[in-house]
């Protein structure tokens, strides 16, 4: 993990993405703390490149409504995420207190990023069904086991989740689920094809998972993986996946 043992800040991301005509990003939480959410919003105030922030609040806390109201006063606070992949309970998403918190998001026009492993996909399917008016995005395609080429069980539950129209999917985070630094482009093809078939170009979002992706690939390589799918689309579809869908989903402005 040494590659991540340094500070990665907005100027680093701008320098990394400029050669690839990336004009904005959504910063997504990594640590489960209110302090990090406040810090990400401070960075967004200073750096126009950050178009939106998906932060963390404790959705199980009785005061969740107060926290959401406070952060929603910031126009770049667009959504919430919890690192559910680290929770030992495979049905964590369906906990009574957690569900109560999820149900508070819509009143503030906030999205929810689902960060899970494949064994938690069934719980995610139940979650999006019981809260049909909430917008969800599946991060990292639920982190399929690309390294070992396991696809059938993941695809079954992934396809079921995609049947719910209130869910979109990020093409992100795949390189760290492959064999680090020795993967091949073809390793990702069946998973990317499954995502396009399940969600269609109108519900796919490009994401980099930078800087975590650097554990297994450079930014340009991550972009190339996504482009291996996007370049097969029409111009309008490609434009949607590369940015328009993200703007619409998170309620962002095209030019700021």
Token representation of residue 225 = 């993986």
Q: What is the pLDDT of residues 59-83, one digit of tens each?
A: 999 999 999 999 999 999 999 999 9
C-alpha span between 101 and 95 (Å, rounded)? 10
Please check whether residue 149 lies inside any domain of the structure.
yes
Q: What is the pLDDT of residues 198-252, one digit of tens each?
A: 999 999 999 999 999 999 999 999 999 999 999 999 999 999 999 999 999 999 9
Examine the pLDDT at 122 and tell me if it is beyond 80: yes
- Around 152, how many Cα atoms within 13 Å sit in the side-chain half-sphere? 0
Bridge partners, 82 (sequence order): 114
For residues 156-161, give the mean pLDDT. 98
For residues 34-50, give the mean pLDDT. 98
Please check whether residue 190 lies inside any domain of the structure.
yes
Please check whether residue 40 lies inside any domain of the structure.
no
Contact between 238 and 231 under an 8 Å Cβ cutoff? The reply is yes
Query: Dihedral through CA 18, CA 186, CA 147, CA 227, nearest 10?
Result: 20
CATH number reported for the structural domain that contains residue 127 in this entry:
3.20.20.140
Please check whether residue 29 lies inside any domain of the structure.
no
CA distances to 143, 159, 254 from 118, rounded to whole Å, are: 7, 12, 33
Examine the pLDDT at 254 and tell me if it is beyond 90: no
- Around 81, how many Cα atoms within 13 Å sit in the side-chain half-sphere? 22
Please check whether residue 233 lies inside any domain of the structure.
yes
Percent of the chain exceeding pLDDT 90 equals: 98
Please check whether residue 56 lies inside any domain of the structure.
no
Contact between 135 and 112 under an 8 Å Cβ cutoff? The reply is yes
pLDDT value of position 1 = 86
Bridge partners, 111 (sequence order): 79
pLDDT value of position 255 = 64
The 8-class DSSP code of residue 31 comes to S
C-alpha span between 166 and 53 (Å, rounded)? 20
- Which residues constitute the domain of residue 179? 2-22+84-250
Q: How many domains does the chain have?
A: 1
Please check whether residue 49 lies inside any domain of the structure.
no
Please check whether residue 6 lies inside any domain of the structure.
yes
pTM score, whole prediction:
0.96
What φ, ψ does residue 117 adopt, rounded to 5°?
A: -100, 165
Going by C-alpha positions, the residue among 3, 62, 33 that lies closest to residue 212 is 3
């Amino acid at each position: 993990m040494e590659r991540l043992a340094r500070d990665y800040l907005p100027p680093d991301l701008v320098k990394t993405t400029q050669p690839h005509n990336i004009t904005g990003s959504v910063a997504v939480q990594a640590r489960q703390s209110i302090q990090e959410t406040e810090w990400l919003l401070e960075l967004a105030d200073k750096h126009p490149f950050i178009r939106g922030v998906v932060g963390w609040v404790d959705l199980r806390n009785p005061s969740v409504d107060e926290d959401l109201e406070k952060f929603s006063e910031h126009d770049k606070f667009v959504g919430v995420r919890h690192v559910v992949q680290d929770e030992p309970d495979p049905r964590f998403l369906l906990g009574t207190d957690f569900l109560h918190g999820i149900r508070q998001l819509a009143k503030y026009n906030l999205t929810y990023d689902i960060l899970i492993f494949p064994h938690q996909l069934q719980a995610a399917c139940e979650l999006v069904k019981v809260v049909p008016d909430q917008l969800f995005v599946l991060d990292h395609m639920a982190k399929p086991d690309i390294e070992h080429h396991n696809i059938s069980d993941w695809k079954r539950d992934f396809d079921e989740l995609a049947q719910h129209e209130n869910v979109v999917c990020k093409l992100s985070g795949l390189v760290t689920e492959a064999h680090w630094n020795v993967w091949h482009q073809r390793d990702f093809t069946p998973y990317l094809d499954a995502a396009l078939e399940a969600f269609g170009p109108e519900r796919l979002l490009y994401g980099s998972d930078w800087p975590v992706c650097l554990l297994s690939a450079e930014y340009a390589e991550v972009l190339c993986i996504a482009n291996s799918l996007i370049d097969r689309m029409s111009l309008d579809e490609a434009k949607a996946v590369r940015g328009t869908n993200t703007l619409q989903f998170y309620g962002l402005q095209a030019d700021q």
